[in-house]
Amino acid sequence: MARSNQRKATITGIGHYIPEHILTNADLEKLVETNDEWIRTRTGISERRIEKDPDKAAAHMGTQAAIEALNSASVDASDVDAILVATVTPDYMFPATSALIQKSLGAKGAFGFDVSAACSGFLYTLSTAAMMIESGRVDTILVIGTDKMSSIVDYTDRNTCILFGDGAGAVVLQATEEDHGFRDFIHYTDGDEDLYLVQEAGGSREPASKESVEQRKHFIRQDGRAIFKRATEGMAGVAEEIMKKNKLSAEDIAWLVPHQANSRIIEATANRMGVSMDQVMMNIDKYGNTTAATIPLCLYDWKDQLQKGDELILTAFGGGLTWGATWLTWGGAK
C-alpha cells in the first residue's frame, strides 16, 4: 500500500447518542401485520431506538454526540473550524441543523452546512471534510450523522416501520502529517426517476397541504425489492472497487464498516470483499437503520477494539440513489 507524509485528515474523537426508548419487534407486532421471526430473518433487526420527546430532534441528538466526540478528542468547541451535518430529518428546512448545533455547542468560530444524501450522507460529509482539511484551509471539523427517522416513518406501513430507528454519531476530524487518516473515497449518484425511496411531500414540488397529509405523503416510502437489489450491488461493488483501486487485499483490511440497512446486504458485501464476518461491524440488531448515523454509531461501538494502524473500509447506499466507499487508516482515537 502506498504511503504518504502529506497533510491528512484523521479521526481524533468519536461520540454518539441513542434515545432511551426501545421499540422491539414484539411491539411492532401490535401495530402492523408482522412478527419477530420474519423481521429478524429478513433484516437482522430485533429492536430500534425511538426518541419520544418531540422537543428532541436531529439537532439535539447531533449536539449530544458532538459533545462526546469533542471530549474524546480533548478539543474545545471554540477550536472547531466547521460543522458538517448529514441528515434527512433536519429540525427545519432552514435554518440548517448544523447552525442549531453550532449554537448549542457555543462554537462561535465555526461555519457549517448540512448534507442530504440519505444513508450515504455520513460518507459524503466525511470525504468533504477530509478534503477541506487536506487543502490546509481548516484544521478541525465536526462531522455528524443524525436522523430522527421516527418523525417520517408511517407506523401503519409494515414495509418501512420495521426498518428505521433514531440516533446520532459524530467524529472530530483533524489535520495530521502522521501516517494514518483518510486515504481515498469513491462516490456515486444515480438519479432515482422511479423514486424507489422517497418522501413525496413537504418540498417545493409538493408543499404541505390538507391533501398531502391525508394521503400520508410526508412519510418515507420505498420499493423494498428494488432498493435491496440496488443496495446489494452498490455497496458490495464499490467496496470491492476501492480495494482494487488501492491494491488492497482482504488480508489488509482489519474492519469493514457498512451502512446498517439489512444484514443480508452486509453479508453480501463482506463476501464480495473476501473478508470474514468477524471483521464486520454490525449493530443493526439493536439500532435498526438510523440512516446517516449508522456508520459513526458502528465506529463508536467498536472504538475499544480498534487499533492504531487498522485499515478500515466504510461503505453505504442510500436514497438519491447514492452510494460510496471510503478507505481510512485508524489513528487511535478512543
Any idea which residues carry the catalytic annotation? 119, 259, 289
Q: How far apart are CA 321 and CA 117, in angstroms?
A: 8
| Amino acid making up residue 58 | A
* Residue that the C-alpha cell 419520544 belongs to: 52
Q: Are 146 and 85 in contact (CB under 8 A)?
A: yes
Q: How far apart are CA 296 and CA 114, in angstroms?
A: 16
Q: Which residues contact 79 (CB under 8 A, 6 or more apart)?
A: 109, 140
Specify the long-range contacts of residues 205-214, CB closer than 8 Å, at least 24 apart: none
